[in-house]
Every structure is written in structure tokens, then in C-alpha cells.
Amino acid sequence: MKAKAKPKKLLGFLYTCLFLGLGILPTVVKPKPALSAEYIYFNYGPLKLSLSRESLEIFANEGRITKEFEFYAQMLNPEALEQLRMLLQQRIKISPVAISRLGKSPMGEAFLEGLGKMIKTHPGRNGLHSLRGALVLAAADSEGLTLMNIVRQFPTEGMLIDTDYIFDVRKELATLFRYRDAAVNAIANQATLEAAAENTVDVSQLADLQQPGPYQFTDQVITLSGRRRQSPLGLSGETKFEVALYLPQGNPKPAPLVVMSHGFASDRNHFTYLAEHLASHGIAVAVPEHVGSNVEYSQAVLQGLANGINPVEFIERPLDIRYVLDELEDLSKSDPNFANKLNLEQVGVIGHSFGGYTALAVAGAEINDLRLRQVCPDQDPTFNLSVLLQCLANRLPPFNYDLQDPRVKAVIAVNPITSTALGPASLGNIQVPVMIMAGSHDIVAPTVPEQIHPFIWLNTPEKYLAMIVDGNHFSTSGASGDDFALFPKELLGSNPQVGLSYLKALSLAFVNTHIRDLPNYRPYLSVSYAKFLSENSLELHLVKSLTPEQLEESFGSEPPQSIIPQLAIEPIPKRSETVLDQIKRTGTIKVGIRKDAAPFGYIDTNGEWKGYCFDLLNSLKDKVAEELNKPIELKVVALQSTLENRFAIVRDETVHLECGPNTIRSDIAGVKFSTPFFITGTHFLVDSQQPRVFNRYQSLDSLKIGVLPSSLTETFIEQTYPNAQKIVFPGDIGRSQGVTALVNRAGGATSAP
């Protein structure tokens, strides 16, 4: 028996390497490369193992097992071999432009950097750039984006799998899954306790809330004007703002209103079924289109027409809700078609995913700057994809944005993202009734950190947690299959109608109880009714209470994730005066501009400031003057912005803001970055007469590379090409000196941000 244990363990090792190291790539998401991975290398204890790409390719294309591959194949049963072959051949339909945009976005790059710790080009060298290049080349190739083609397009002779790191990941994942299952079991146990304490009601005799109501309704899309909203370019201006409005007919009283907030890369149509259901029960529904994070915007990002999701969406989305309520109030007073149709004293919000965050924000949960500063600088890969989105909010200035709307009386957050952008302190501020709906197998917004722990953080006396066992991020979405074409079927789950029915019944019960104040609907918000609704394919649990002790007891030891995380950083001291108030008082905007960074900032032959930054800041000055109704002077401070002082002069308030070619970072305390107006990466300037001398996928040991001191590019060269000879060009004319040195000396390279 002991003799068989090693092959089984090695089999687990191989599966781990292939599935975690490589197989995760296609589910994230045309020049021929000079090199491609001929071998996949990995260590197994004292053994150094390798597998040629050719053997793997023959198996993938023909199903034939070569002598080399036989060593591994003999440890897999026929079913496992067939699964491996299908995995290698599975094609993801996505354009190279789209995959390039995804890979270069802040969220995509953070994800690939995590994968790059598993898949490397050399020991100690992150495979981020090689992975990104292989993904783009594979998507551009006629074979398309398959796992086998990614290996083929990998731009080094060998692909190194960090097995130690992968085993750590596998162990951590196993622990997290075990804790997730224990948490779901704790919820089931709590449901049993609550059921025993409930008043005896025969829920089978109650009206079926899953069925349509008696009211006819109209649905229309209204276009609201005057909404000043942040554009994809980061500028504020009036935006066409569309809202789908569902109005019940024949209701003798003004109808209560529910505003629905869709998720990221979604739109107002994804929950049409729920809007129609509520309207049929006499509830008006408004569904705004969040133009900065809807499906149309996400497609624009993939096509290169927009620069990725703007962090300001964390502010604009809740303000969209406020704007809708303001406009509907005005219409109720000015438009006879809306007179006496809406009761804006009875307002609720239902949101999914990013919309779940939106609902909680308008209910009183503030953006938690301290939590963001603590979590987001961590460069370790995360198994919580939603954190990549939430950490975009870390680029917002630390400020109380006052997103709460007192007209909102209760909210439902379905698969919300909460753990980082909000955290315990912010969720604890909510005082209105809250229902959180979760799917136990949600991999986009994992249920433990994003819904179960946050439910415990809530202090509101009226709170509910609805858990769909085996449900996922899309279990309650009414979108068609075409909307999820990029997602493997395994991630979408089965029995979508079951999840839709759950949300229809529970949302109607919640709205009638806590917004319409109809006490006869409270029995529906019970363990008994949830059990009555529950189907075997997707079980439903509903609880009103859960404690950290219950989770710990169910898990049997200290949980791998802190249930109530504590802050470990000090808050930044609050300003005695806002920047805008200071500008209004002094009549001056103080700015820092680099004078060595043409075309962004430079001084011409007449000693005058020129460049894009100077023009941009002059336009900003005019805009601020218009807003404040006061003349404003633009003052470029005497202490010019340099690579060395650019962050310090903002932090110590020498200037109000600095403009130049800066890398957006999350690890600079006291400094925030605007939406970028120019995006690039590290590029090498090389001698055009000798392009073959330079190959960025090699070690560059024989080359001299010029860099500017104290730049992130210098750090990048030191980390990525430690054996290259670094030549530093300091001072205001360092950039031009570097270019001149390259022209005068062939065979080298200059690196620039």
C-alpha cells in the first residue's frame, strides 16, 4: 500500500500544477513570438521534473501518449486524462484587443501578478509580463485562446511552475473552502434554533409571493437631464441619464418606490423580472443605468475606447440613486402624469454585486478609507476577485462623501461587495433594515468575507441573511445566457429559476414589511417560510442572527479569516480646512509641474511653462473659478516637482496638486491619484539598427540600461533584470542625456516610464 501512496501524491501534485498553475488562465477571462516554452519545469521534493511542450501538444491534439508523457499518464485514470485533454483544448472567445486591455487594467494586472507568482520565467522572477504577452498572442492566433496555445506562445524557452507556492495556495484554498462549508453549516444550525423560537404559523396557507400580483403596470424608459456626472475621461459634465420606470395602475394610494442598482458590467435589464414582479404587487420600481460601470461601458473598455472603471463610480453610483429620487420628487410635483403616483416617504433600494455596495452606501455605510489603506497595498494574490474592484476606491481622496439618503427606509443587498470598501465600522453605522442575500459558491464575491462576516458587522436591529446553498454570483440574475458568454458554464450553476423565485418572494415580503409597514407580511420573513420555499437543488436558509462564536465552533478552530478585522493603521489627521475652501479664501491654486517631462511639462526657450499639464491645470483653474464664482490664479510654486519630491510637496501641502507622468500607486500615505489621462507601461528605447541585440524576455546581462533615478522604472529594472548594467541619468536633463547616450552608443537601451 505504501508503494501506491507516492504515485497518488504525485498525481495530486500534477493536477495541482496544471489546474492551479495553468488551468486558471482561460477562466479569467499577431506577431509570432521569438521564443516559446519548449518545456514546463517544476520541482517535486528533491526531484526536478520537466514535460516537453511537444509531448503535451501531441496529447492535446491527437490524444496520443508519448513515451515521455507516459510517465505522467499512467497515474491518471481514463476519465481524468480526458478531462485534462479537454482543459488543454478549451477555447475562450475573446479578441486580442480585449485581453490586452484586461491585462493592462489595474484589476487585470493585479490578478496576473498573482498568477505570475505561480508561473515564472526564471526562479524569483514574476511571470506577469510573459503571461500577459502569451495571452494576447494566443488570442490573436488562429487557434485562439486555449491553455495549450498559451503554453505555445509563452515567450521564454521554459515555463517554470513554482510548486512550493502552488502547494501553499492549494492548502490555503482547501482551508478556505472548509471554513466556507462550516460557516454555511453554522447558518443552517442557527436557522434550526430560530425556527424553534418562532410563533407557529402554517406558512403553506399563506399567499404565494412567488406568483404575480393583481396590478397591471406600465413600463417606460425616461431620460433625465441635468445630471452632472463623472465621464470616462474623469471630467464632470451633463450626462444622458436613462431610468426604467415601472408604475402600477389602479392603486388608490401613491405607490411605494424601490430603486434597483445593477452590478458592474451589467445593465438595467438584468432584473427586469423582479421589477415586473414587484410592480404587479403595487410597488413602483425605478432602475437607473449606471453609465460609468454598465455593460456598454465595459465593452468600451475592452475595445480601447475607455480607460477602465473609474474609482469615482464608488461615489457616483449612490449619487445616481439620490438623483433619481430628486427627479421623481420634482416630476411628482410638476408633471400631471406622475401626480399622486409615488410615495417617496416609502423608498427602498435593491442592488446586486456592485449594486449591493450601492444599496448599502445609500443606507449609511461610508467608504472606509482606513480599511482600504490597510488591505489594498498587500501585493499577495487574493482568492477574492471582488477585492480587485473594491481597491479601486483606495484611489479616492479620504473624505466623508455623505452618500446616505434619509429617504431610503430599507435595503436588500444581493451578493454585495463589502469587505474592503466598507468594512465593519461602516456597515455598523447602518440603522435601517437590511437583507443580505448570498450564494455559498460565489467565486466573484465569496460569501464568507463579502456576505457572512459583513452580516455579523451589521448593528441594525432588523437584519436578515438569506443563504442559497450551492448558489453563485448569478443565481438570482435574470440575464440571458448571451450576457455571460465569457463565463464557463460551471461557474454559472444550474436551476436559475429557483434563485429567481427566492428573490421574488423574499424581496416582496421585505418591502411590504419594512417599507410599506404591513405587519401581516412579517411571517414571510421567517425560517419556516424559507424552508417552505427551499428546493433540494438549491437549499435556502434565512436567519436573523449569527455570532463569531457560532462560526468558530462550527469550524472547530480559529478561522483562517478574521471575522471582525481590526484596523492596524493610524488615521490621517483631518484638515482644518478643505482644499476648495482654502482656494476660495486665497484665490490661488498651487500646483507642481515637472519641467523635465515634455510633453507633460517643460519650460520653453522664453522661460515660460508649457505642456499638457499646464494647459490642463489652466482649464481646471477656469472651472474652479466658475464653480466658486470668483477669479482664481494658477500659481506654479517655486519648488518645482521632481521625481524625488513629487509626493512630498502634495503631502506637506506645498501644492494642492501635482501633474506629470506618475505611476498610480496605493502605497503612498497621504497622497491620492486622479483618473489617468495617459496610460502606458515600461517601454525600452533601443537602437533601431540593431533590434536583435535586445530581447526583453532574456536576462539582458550584457546590456547597459539607462534609467532616471528614484523612478519606478529604476525599481522595475533592478527587480526584473538584476544582472543588467544600470546607468543612471540624474537631474533635469537626465531624460535627454539618456536618449543622447543611446544614439551615440549602439547596442544599449534606455528605459522610460
Grid coordinates representing 697?
524576455
d(CA 738, CA 182) in angstroms, rounded, equals 59
Q: pLDDT, tens digit, for every residue of 715-752?
A: 777 767 777 788 888 866 677 777 788 777 644 555 55
- What pLDDT does residue 522 have? 96
Output helix, strand, coil percentages for the chain, rounded to the nearest 5.
Answer: 40, 20, 40
First to last CA, the chain: 59
Question: CA angle at residue 244 from 482 to 504, to 5 degrees?
Answer: 70
H or E element in which residue 734 lies = helix 734-744
Starting at the earlier edge strand, list the strands of the sheet with 657-659: 633-636, 588-593, 657-659
Grid coordinates representing 719?
527587480
d(CA 63, CA 81) in angstroms, rounded, equals 9
d(CA 277, CA 587) in angstroms, rounded, equals 55
Residue 249 DSSP class: S
Judging by beta carbons within 10 Å of its beta carbon (0-12, 13-18, 19+), is residue 219 exposed, middle or buried?
middle
d(CA 430, CA 574) in angstroms, rounded, equals 23
Judging by beta carbons within 10 Å of its beta carbon (0-12, 13-18, 19+), is residue 643 exposed, middle or buried?
buried
CA 336 to chain centre: 42
Residue 452 DSSP class: I
The CATH superfamily of 683-752 is Periplasmic binding protein-like II (3.40.190.10)
Per the CB < 8 A criterion, the answer to whether 165 and 494 are in contact is no
CA 708 to chain centre: 33
- Give the residue from 543, 624, 613 showing the smallest Cα distance to 589: 624
Per the CB < 8 A criterion, the answer to whether 363 and 259 are in contact is no
The CATH superfamily of 180-555 is Alpha/Beta hydrolase fold, catalytic domain (3.40.50.1820)
Per the CB < 8 A criterion, the answer to whether 440 and 466 are in contact is no
**Amino acid at position 16, single letter:** T
d(CA 127, CA 37) in angstroms, rounded, equals 13
**Residue labelled with grid coordinates 464557463:** 488
Asked, colleague to colleague, whether 579-659 and 683-752 share their fold, the answer is yes
Q: Return the exposure string of 50-77: e unless at least 16 CB atoms fall within 10 Å of the residue's CB, then b.
A: ebebebbbbbbeeeebbeebeebbebbe
d(CA 502, CA 471) in angstroms, rounded, equals 11
d(CA 290, CA 354) in angstroms, rounded, equals 11
User: Between the CA of residue 527 and those of 194, 663, 710, what are the distances in Å?
Assistant: 7, 51, 60
Half-sphere exposure of 577 (CA within 13 A, CB side): 10
Per the CB < 8 A criterion, the answer to whether 110 and 308 are in contact is no
- What pLDDT does residue 258 have? 98
Neighbours of 318 (CB within 10 A): 28
Q: Return the exposure string of 465-494: e unless at least 16 CB atoms fall within 10 Å of the residue's CB, then b.
A: bbbbbebbbbbbbbbeeebeeebeeebebe
DSSP 179-211: HHHHHHHHHHHHHHHHHHHS----GGGS--TTS
Angle (deg, nearest 10), helices 106-116 and 96-104: 80
- Give the residue from 343, 317, 488, 456 showing the smallest Cα distance to 407: 343
Residue 266 DSSP class: B
d(CA 155, CA 17) in angstroms, rounded, equals 19
pLDDT below 50 — which residues of the chain? 1-34, 233-234, 485-486, 638-639, 746-747, 753
Query: Coil, strand or helix: which one is 647?
Result: coil
d(CA 359, CA 288) in angstroms, rounded, equals 13
d(CA 647, CA 668) in angstroms, rounded, equals 8
User: Between the CA of residue 467 and those of 127, 324, 435, 437, 442, what are the distances in Å?
Assistant: 38, 30, 11, 6, 11
**Residue labelled with grid coordinates 522664453:** 606
**Amino acid at position 314, single letter:** F
d(CA 164, CA 414) in angstroms, rounded, equals 37
d(CA 93, CA 104) in angstroms, rounded, equals 19
Per the CB < 8 A criterion, the answer to whether 405 and 474 are in contact is no
CATH class in words for 579-659? alpha beta
Contacts of 169 (CB under 8 A, 6+ apart): 20, 118, 381
Name 657's bridge partners: 591
Per the CB < 8 A criterion, the answer to whether 310 and 239 are in contact is no
d(CA 456, CA 338) in angstroms, rounded, equals 40
- What pLDDT does residue 357 have? 98
Judging by beta carbons within 10 Å of its beta carbon (0-12, 13-18, 19+), is residue 231 exposed, middle or buried?
middle
**Amino acid at position 589, single letter:** I
d(CA 554, CA 548) in angstroms, rounded, equals 10
Domain ranges of the chain: 2-161, 180-555, 579-659, 683-752
Starting at the earlier edge strand, list the strands of the sheet with 284-288: 217-230, 236-248, 284-288, 255-261, 342-352, 408-414, 434-439, 463-468, 540-543
d(CA 324, CA 336) in angstroms, rounded, equals 18
Per the CB < 8 A criterion, the answer to whether 476 and 500 are in contact is yes
Q: Return the exposure string of 162-196: e unless at least 16 CB atoms fall within 10 Å of the residue's CB, then b.
A: bbebbbebbeeeeebeebbebbbebbebbbeebee
- Give the residue from 35, 28, 61 showing the smallest Cα distance to 143: 61
